[in-house]
Chains A and B, each alone.
Chain A
């Protein structure tokens, strides 16, 4: 079969949704997908085994995180993590994990992939659960002895869970969308 005929055949198959057109790449193995796909959605799907409490988390936090965030997560130098509840509608809003973040699962996912700043991805799942528990505890969201794991974390109700609205732009000028009267 000529190259042109091959392409034509591949094209026809692709149009029918049967075959790839260019045939590049290879299928990943299940292990590869498992190692690469570390995304945790808001509902916590895919959280790994393990768990921890605020008490254990404090030890890890003070050792690995406090140099940037302070022992109690209130240092504003990089990202303030604790406090600020009730400030969002004021003229001095303080956005923290406790006051702003809608899902506790996001905290887990971000600590695992991006923290500590200079050693990203170096915490074990147990340590990530524990640090997450500590930050939730400091924000008055969970108890100090509460075990945070794949079952309990998605059920944590964050204070600002309902604090978000969709894109409302364009919001000025003659092409502006009508604004919701109340929300």
Chain B
């Protein structure tokens, strides 16, 4: 096919191409780019047409509007997730919101209830923090057997961004919380009107009412124009498309508080109002679906994080957990953020099982799956922060295993 005919077809197939069709199918790049006039400047930049990592819908996604879309962690560098690849989870699709019409109502047990526009919220003092965000359903398909082929499937409902917004404490001081105001109901403007109960102590501590993500406005799928960011806590309470904060005197046990989020224990009781994402880590290289070309020196690399604050140490095993070595932590290591770790490893070409475990500032050690199952059984679905095992086979192919 000549270039002109291809371009013509490309227009017809435009959506397919934009969705990540292989760059090979397009016109080849010049052999010597310095001998050809380059392309034009663009108002809003695009990545190279040769870059292909994309989000992928999780196996549990029931429709295009309900479920998760996971981050390709193995293709990313450092600790920041590009906004276009940040994971998303919805139960009623992505709402289309005009920020000029959007309002935040803050009321309830307060002295001065307010309705604020986005511009008014931006007039309040802002702060920016690099924070991880993890859905409590991350790794939920891994309880019984290793099901995800790659780290995108096993751990991709998790990302890390720089978030910018107003500390919720500033807003709460602005409206004056009454003495008996001990919880806040936060509600989003999506088709499910997602609402969650947030304890006042956390709200006053470090929660953000965010409008910025990695230096620009939030992406629609991540809450545009306004969302809560609740450092270290389960994704769903970071309410997106935030339109209402109601100060109340008790948790309301909303649909997601009371029914959607609780985890079932072996005795039939369910744990309710769980918020913290416990310490966790995963090796992103080498990881499932990748292939080592041959024996030699490799830098094992991965991500660690803890909803209780700082990652203090990450240990890596290359023998299925028999022996452990301290990994290097790359600066910056920030509270409630991803930490990038790495370790030099000489692969001798024989089968090896690679694992990592995170130890946080509280002394909590990321557990094995067996330890978790012993206490929680196999029906709790959520909060699976078990050590992940990747088996490097003799041929260099890397597989998800339970070890």
Distance in angstroms between the alpha carbons of A41 and B364 in the assembled complex: 35
8 Å CB contact of A175 from B123, B174, B272, B363: B363
Please report whether the interface of chain A is mostly helix, strand, loop or mixed according to DSSP.
loop
Within 8 A of B (CB), among A126-167: 163-167
Q: CB within 8 A of A17: which of B114, B176, B274, B276?
A: B176
Q: How far is the CA of A173 from the CA of B370 in the complex (A)?
A: 12
Nearest neighbor of B366 in chain A, beta-carbon distance: A173
CB pair B174–A21 under 8 Å, yes or no, is yes
A48 interfacial by beta-carbon distance below 8 Å: no
Query: Is A166 in contact with B273, judged by CB distance below 8 angstroms?
Result: yes
Contact A120 B264 (CB under 8 A): no
Which one of A102, A120, A183 contacts B258 once the chains associate, using CB atoms below 8 Å? A102
Min distance, Cβ B24 to any Cβ of chain A, angstroms: 39
Q: How far is the CA of A168 from the CA of B185 in the complex (A)?
A: 23
Assuming the contacts A39-B246, A39-B254, A113-B193, asked whether A33 and B107 have C-beta atoms less than 8 A apart, the reply is yes
In angstroms, how far is the closest chain B Cβ from the Cβ of A19?
Answer: 9
Tell whether, in the assembled complex, residue B269 and residue A175 are in contact, meaning their CB atoms are under 8 Å apart: no
Q: Which residues of A contact B173 (CB under 8 A)?
A: 14, 21
Q: In the bound complex, how far is the Cα of B364 from the Cα of A170, in angstroms?
A: 8
Of A42, A77, A163, which is within 8 A of B252 by CB? Answer: A42
B174 near A114 with CB under 8 A, answer no
Q: Which residues of B contact A101 (CB under 8 A)?
A: 258-259
B364 contacts which chain A residues (CB < 8 A)? Answer: 170, 173, 175
CB-based contact B266/A106 at 8 Å: no
Q: B107 touches which one: A37, A40, A163 (CB < 8 A)?
A: A37
**Of all chain A residues, which has the CB nearest B108?**
A37
Contact A165 B274 (CB under 8 A): no
Report A17-40 CB contacts with B as 1/0, cut-off 8 Å.
100111011111000110011111
A61 contacts the other chain (CB 8 A): no
Give complex CA distance A117, B250 in Å.
29
**A89 an interface residue at 8 Å Cβ cutoff?**
yes
* Neighbouring B residues of A175 by C-beta, 8 Å: 362-365
Contacting pair A167 B255 (CB below 8 A)? no
Contact of A39 (CB < 8 Å), options: B252, B265, B278: B252
The answer on a CB contact under 8 Å between A41 and B252 is yes
Asked if B371 and A172 make an inter-chain contact with CB atoms under 8 angstroms apart, the answer reads yes
Instruction: Say whether B278 contacts A169, CB under 8 Å.
Output: yes
In the complex, 24 of the A-B residue pairs with CB atoms within 8 angstroms, ordered by the A residue number, are: A17-B111, A21-B173, A22-B174, A24-B124, A25-B114, A28-B105, A32-B115, A33-B113, A37-B244, A38-B193, A39-B246, A41-B248, A42-B258, A78-B62, A88-B268, A91-B378, A102-B253, A106-B259, A110-B255, A117-B65, A163-B269, A165-B269, A165-B272, A167-B272
Given contacts A165-B269, A170-B362, 7 further A-B contacts (CB under 8 A): A28-B114, A28-B115, A41-B250, A120-B191, A164-B262, A164-B271, A165-B271
- On B, residues with C-beta under 8 Å from A are 62, 65-66, 91-92, 105-107, 111-117, 120-121, 123-124, 173-176, 185, 187, 191-193, 195, 243-244, 246, 248, 250, 252-255, 258-259, 262, 264-276, 278, 362-365, 367, 371-372, 374-376, 378-379, 383
